Structures are given as C-alpha cells and as structure tokens.
Amino acid sequence: MTNSPATTSPDAGPPGLGSEAEGTPARSGLALVLGALPWLVAAGLVGAAGYLGGYLATIVAFALIYAVFVTGLNIFMGFTAQVSFGHNAFAAIGGYTSAVLTTTYEWPPLAAFAAGLAGSLALAGLIGWPTLRLKGHYLSMGTLAIGLIVYEIAVQWESVTQGYLGISGIPSLGIGRFEATGDRQILAVLTAIVLLGAFVVARMRRSRFGRALSAVAGSEEAARALGIDVARYKLASFLLSAGFASLAGTLFVHVVGYVSPEVFGLHMVILAFTMLYVGGLGTVVGPIIGALVISLLPETFRGFRDYQDLGYGAALILLLIYAPRGMAGLIDLAAGRKAS
Amino acid sequence: MAPDPHAPLLQVRGLTARYGHVRALEATDLTVDRGELVAILGPNGAGKSTLLRAILGLVANTGEVRSEGVVLPRADPVAVASAGIVLVPEGRGIFGPMTVAENLRLGAYRVRDRREVERRLARTFELFPRLSERLGQTAGSMSGGEQQMVAIGRALMADPKVLLLDEPSLGLAPRVTAEILETLRRLNQSGLSVVLVEQKAPLALELAVRVHLLSLGRTVAVISPDQVKSHDELARYYFA
C-alpha cells in the first residue's frame, strides 16, 4: 500500500476531463477553433451525404446510428471507466421489439420504441444489479454472456423473430403522420437525434451526476470514502448507456427496414469499441467522429481492391499509435492543453 | 438511536480486519474525543492504513465502531462518511484528470444546498489560499504538496466530525510537510478531531495528545507524547 501513486492513476481516468483546464485567452481561442474542428468535419460529412445521396448517404446513416450506440457506450466505458462487451444485447432488444411490434402488431414506431426501451432497461437492471456490486471483470464477463444469449434467442425463437430469415417490411421512422422517407429526411432525423444525445451527455458531464461518475472512474475507493454510492452510480450509468443502445437498435431496423440476428452480433461490439477508441474515449464528440471515420474508412480504401482490408488495418494501427487518446484527444494535444 | 453528545466522536472496540485470509488488524481499540488529535505510529505493514480503512468499512472487518454513541455499519463506507468520519487516503486519492474546483466540490458531494457549498469553499480557501488561485488546474498536474492540500481541502468540504489522515507527509519535501502539519495544527486548534497515521514519528509526537503504537496488526502501547522524546525511546516500546 505504501507505494501507491500520488494520484489515483490519472492515465486511467477519462481523458476528456483534462480538457477543462483553463488556458490563457490566446490558447483558449485556438482550443475553441480546434475543438470545433471535429464537429465541422462531422457536419461536412453528413452534409455531403445529404447532398450526394445514394451509397454515401446509406453509409453515413449507419454511422449516425452507430454514433448513438457509441455515445451510450461512452457513458459507461468513457465516463465511468467500466467495460461492457454486451451492449449489442440492448440494441437487439430495442431493434427486435420495434420490428415485431410495428410489423406483426402494427404499433406506431414511437410506442414500439418505448416498449423496447423498457425491455432493455429491465434486462440491464437485472444483470447490472448483482454484477455491478462486484469488482473487476465479473460485469464484463456477464455482459459478454448476455450479448451471446440474446443473439441465440434471436436465432432460435423463430415464431417471433423468424430466425436467420429475419423480419422484413419494417416501416420507416415516423411520428404521427410524419414519416422520414428518402435519404435527406432520414439523415436529418438521425442528425437531430445524435445532436440531442451529445447535448444530453455534455450536460450530464458537468452535472453533479457526471462528477460522481468521474469520481467512480478515477478511484472507486476514493469515491466511496467521499460518501458516493459507487454501485448505484455504476448501475445508473449502465442503464443510461443501455437506453442509448436500445434507441440505436430501434433506429437501425426502421432505417434499413429489415432485421436479422447478425445485425446485432458480436461484430457490432467490436466495431463500436473501434469507433469509441478511434474517436476518443470519454469525450463528447469522440463517439460521433469515431463512428463516421470508422464507417467511411473502409470505403476510402476501396481503390486498393484486394488490399482494402490491409489498408484499413494499417490506418487503424497508425491512428491508435499516433492518437492513443483518439481523434478528440489529438485535438486537445494540438491545442496545447495539458494531457492529464 | 439518537446521538449522545457526551459520547466520544469516535470509539473503536475490538476492530479486526482481513484481506482475504490474511489478518491485517487484530482487536484494536481507539477513542477520539472532541478536539483531540490522536496519532497512530508504527512501521511498514503494522496495520495503520488498514485501521483507517476498516473504520470506514473499505476493508472486510468485524468489531464495533461508534460515533457519538451511534453504532456505524461495518460494510457501508457511504454511511460512515455520512456520519462525519472522513478519510484522506494514503496516496491522497485525488482525481487527477479533474480540476481543483471539481475535486473540492466532490468533497461536498452530499450537500445539495449551493450556498452551503460556497460557504465551505470559502472556508477551505482561507486555509489553503493557494488552491483558490488554481481552481481551473487539473489536480494531477500539481505538485505533491498541492495535491495533499487538495485532498485535505476536499475532505474538509464534507465538514467532518473526525478527519482520518493516512500519511499526509508521504513523498513530500520536509518544508512542505511542515506546512501541511502546521495547517493540521491550526485545524485541530480550531476544534477538529483528527486521527493521524504517520511513519515519521517526530512529526506526529509534536501534535498528538495520545499515540497508539501498532506492530504486526496489534496495538503494542498507547502512550502520551511526553513519554517519548527520541526515536530510541520509541524503539524501546516496540521491543519491550
């Protein structure tokens, strides 16, 4: 115990929190410009997709749905410093509930979404309540199991999910008489949802709740010694991030109009992790820029033909070597903010 | 049970703690009255930190801990902290990526009244003027002494009845240590009860009304600081 570090492992904490240091006026001006950069890039990509339409619009729409998913994952992994391999389960519950209720039972999308959300939160509470009290990797293993189990249920429960065949003919996103059809409308709706999610997270981070999550991320023991109910905050963070995942699942099935078990397989988790780390763990814009970059990156290497995967892999490795704190972290560095 | 204002602020009876199967603390007693500063001395591995962590309930423990006569739960650090028993952990436990202001505000995390939080902040700055100039700085980028000030300041934001300090001098230059201890002396003189764990005996002997000597998880002696004036005398207690 005597050689414990002077601070509770500053490297392990959410990197984004370091960016709140107040710099000199000139430096904060530069920081402001650089801080706006990822938002501008994201806006440019979405704008281009809306203008050009077609394949690009489809990819960017997927990226925005992933941005919602990763924004939620970031609350749990970035701000609370926990690990979950099973958030695809909540996306699957949200997605399948929406798909089944809107097709077989002809519910309106919003009501179906609410039902899926309730289901996801119930499951998150059920696994979170016992496992979040435990230390270490119990929760991670528990979440991995739940992701695999939900996938198996989607495959086996054919009377409801139609197994590998999947469910098709899912209606578009819509509220009341409004229905989002066509690339531009879908992109506009998704962009609004992503921005709303980012706003919620930005507000949360600066709130008492957000500070408590950061304390849990910094050191559970120090947080406990301050009277912070660590288990309760971990559970709240888990539920919140599961809610985002459920929303992403619902958005996916409505945008694509079709769902099958593979959509919410383990590869979704791997893709989301890549987006989160490339974008910047524990930052507000990181999940959005990460989702866009990782979705578009393989396409930029399409010209390489047989070497497409090689190019994509090499680009990922380079990114993680030169921007270990993600692209949002890279910008902090460029703005000369103190790396914490 | 209602608190008894005449009972000691902190009363520990037969506290035993273990890490897995290893007993780190054996049937320890400790009493701290209002305004007292009690020091816990002992070599590395004597169980000093474990004693503080066991009082909070951060380590598996059995025994009895009371504050003003009220029995505190043994596995609920939140309840103990709420009762006003606040720990400044070894290694300070500050949140490196957060700013000084955020760290301090977390100390008053359980207080919802904003004016009360501001009042406590002002009081903390009176004690540590340097912190008020560094509010926006990330705590991890500060010097060791300043980090210790943040850690103590953060604990004071909780308005403790008893402040538990685990080796505040660890890793600090002698001049900085003296500054921290002078602050502790002032806090104690203003009426705050303190339990101070130290390895550097002379520092603790200067401030304490009573000194508990721990060795291998057991209390080997409870002495008055007047009884020992040198390291040699202190050593005699251990080998007696």
* pLDDT tens, position by position, A129-139: 888 877 667 77
Q: Does residue B105 sit at the A interface (CB-CB below 8 Å)? A: yes
Q: How far is A273 from chain B (nearest CA, A)?
A: 22
- Contact list, B90 vs chain A (CB under 8 Å): 1-2, 4
In the predicted structure, residue B180 carries a pLDDT above the cut 50: yes
B214 has which bridge partners? B219
Q: Note which residues in 132-161 of chain A have CB less than 8 A from chain B.
A: none
Residue A116: the pLDDT is 96
Total domains in chain B come to: 2
B225 vs A9, residue with greater confidence: B225
Q: Does residue B147 sit at the A interface (CB-CB below 8 Å)? A: yes
The pLDDT tens digits for A277-310 are: 999 999 999 999 999 999 988 877 777 777 877 8
A198: helix, coil or strand?
helix
Beta strands in chain B (DSSP E): 10-19, 22-32, 37-41, 61-67, 70-71, 85-88, 162-166, 193-198, 210-215, 218-223
- Contact list, B42 vs chain A (CB under 8 Å): none
Of A286-290, A297-301, B67-71, B156-160, the one with minimum mean pLDDT is A297-301
Is the pTM above the cut of 0.90?
Answer: no
Q: How far is A19 from chain B (nearest CA, A)?
A: 9
Of A8-17, A35-44, A63-72, A89-98, the one with minimum mean pLDDT is A8-17
Residue A300: the pLDDT is 78
Of A1-5, A283-287, A331-335, B32-36, the one with minimum mean pLDDT is A1-5
Asked if B109 lies within 8 A of A227 by C-beta distance, the reply is yes
Does residue B102 sit in the same domain as residue B117? yes
- Determine whether A105 is exposed, middle or buried from the number of CB atoms within 10 Å of its CB (0-12, 13-18, 19+): exposed
Pairing of strands A258-259, A178-179: unpaired
- Contact list, A340 vs chain B (CB under 8 Å): 96-97, 138, 140-141
Residue B200: the pLDDT is 77
Residue A8: the pLDDT is 43
Among residues B159, B181, B210, the one where a domain terminates is: B159
Helices (H) and strands (E) in chain A, counts: 14, 4
Question: What does R_g of chain A's alpha carbons equal in angstroms?
Answer: 20
Average confidence (pLDDT) over A8-16 = 40
The pLDDT tens digits for A68-83 are: 999 999 999 999 999 9
Residue B96: the pLDDT is 86
Residue A1: the pLDDT is 38
Mean pLDDT in chain B? Answer: 89
Given B44, B91, B137, which is nearest A6 (Cβ)?
A: B91
Place of tokens 């690339």: A183
Residue B148 binned pLDDT confidence (cut-offs 50, 70, 90) = very high
Does residue B78 sit in the same domain as residue B62? yes
Range of the domain at B58: 1-84+163-173+191-240
Residue B237: the pLDDT is 65
Residue B231: the pLDDT is 62
Instruction: Give the CATH number of the domain where residue B69 resides.
Output: 3.40.50.300
Of A22-26, A253-257, A284-288, B185-189, the one with minimum mean pLDDT is A22-26
In the predicted structure, residue A16 carries a pLDDT above the cut 50: no
Given A8, A18, A221, which is nearest B138 (Cβ)?
A: A18
Residue A25 binned pLDDT confidence (cut-offs 50, 70, 90) = low
Residue A144: the pLDDT is 87
Asked if B136 lies within 8 A of A20 by C-beta distance, the reply is yes
Does residue B80 sit in the same domain as residue B105? no
- Does residue B186 lie in a domain region? no
Given B81, B138, B140, which is nearest A226 (Cβ)?
A: B81
Mean pLDDT in chain A? Answer: 84
Instruction: Give which of B25, B98, B166 to mutate to test A binding, by max A Cβ within 10 Å.
Output: B98
- Does residue B129 lie in a domain region? yes
Rounded to an integer, what distance in angstroms lies between the CA atom of residue A215 and that of residue B98?
9
Rounded to an integer, what distance in angstroms lies between the CA atom of residue B53 and that of residue B44?
16
CB A70 within 8 Å of CB A291: yes
Q: Residue A116: which residues within 8 A CB-CB, separation 6 or more?
A: A93, A94, A95, A96, A97, A98, A101, A246, A249, A250
- Contact list, B87 vs chain A (CB under 8 Å): 225
Rounded to an integer, what distance in angstroms lies between the CA atom of residue A13 and that of residue B96?
8
Asked if A224 lies within 8 A of B93 by C-beta distance, the reply is no
Does residue B106 sit in the same domain as residue B150? yes
Does residue B167 sit in the same domain as residue B65? yes
Q: How far is CA B162 from CA A222, A298, B87, in A?
A: 17, 59, 9
CATH topology of domain A26-334: ABC transporter involved in vitamin B12 uptake, BtuC (1.10.3470)
Rounded to an integer, what distance in angstroms lies between the CA atom of residue B179 and that of residue B9?
27
Does residue B74 sit in the same domain as residue B38? yes
Q: Could you tell me the strand order of the sheet in which B37-41 lies? A: B85-88, B162-166, B193-198, B37-41, B210-215, B218-223
| The total number of residues written for chain A in this structure | 340
Q: Residue A212: which residues within 8 A CB-CB, separation 6 or more?
A: A223, A228, A233, B106, B109
Of A38-47, A61-70, B200-209, the one with minimum mean pLDDT is B200-209
- Does residue B203 lie in a domain region? yes
- Does residue B26 lie in a domain region? yes
The pLDDT tens digits for A136-187 are: 677 788 888 899 999 999 999 989 888 888 898 888 887 777 887 888 888 9
Percent of chain B with pLDDT over 90: 60
B19: helix, coil or strand?
strand
Does residue B212 sit in the same domain as residue B153? no
Q: Note which residues in 222-261 of chain A have CB less than 8 A from chain B.
A: 222, 224-229
Question: What does R_g of chain B's alpha carbons equal in angstroms?
Answer: 17
Residue B170: the pLDDT is 87
Percent of chain A with pLDDT over 90: 47
| The total number of residues written for chain B in this structure | 240
Residue B238 binned pLDDT confidence (cut-offs 50, 70, 90) = low
In the predicted structure, residue A123 carries a pLDDT above the cut 90: yes
Given B89, B110, B137, which is nearest A227 (Cβ)?
A: B110
CB A183 within 8 Å of CB A175: no
Q: Residue B215: which residues within 8 A CB-CB, separation 6 or more?
A: B42, B43, B46, B238
A111 vs B240, residue with greater confidence: A111
- Does residue B183 lie in a domain region? no
Does residue B67 sit in the same domain as residue B145? no
A175 vs B213, residue with greater confidence: B213
In the predicted structure, residue A316 carries a pLDDT above the cut 90: no
Q: Write b or e for each residue in B82-120: b if 16 or more Cβ atoms lie within 10 A of its Cβ, otherwise e.
A: ebbbbbbbbbbbbbbbbbbbbbbbbbbbebeeeeebeeb
Residue A20: the pLDDT is 40
Asked if A224 lies within 8 A of B56 by C-beta distance, the reply is yes
